[in-house]
Amino acid sequence: DDVSPTLKNGGATVSDYELCKKAYRKELTPNMFCAGTQEGTPAPCHGDSGRPYLSELR
């Protein structure tokens, strides 16, 4: 797994925990969340799973 030297920016919306739990079953624990994008928008890349997620507080 090579890390890109270029920081990339893409949007993702945090999904409802119960919806994520149904999709990921035993893999999702209470200290985790899942996020995704709508079709046609920049998305996390293959291999981003487990990488840091940064969000601006509003």
For CA atoms 40, 16, 34, 12, give the dihedral sign: positive
Q: Specify the pLDDT at position 46.
A: 63
Task: Supply the pLDDT for residue 42.
Answer: 57
- pLDDT score for 29: 85
pLDDT tens-place string over residues 1-58 = 566 777 777 777 888 888 888 887 778 888 888 877 766 665 666 666 666 777 777 7
Q: How far apart are CA 28 and CA 20, in angstroms?
A: 7
Instruction: Give the pLDDT score at 34.
Output: 82
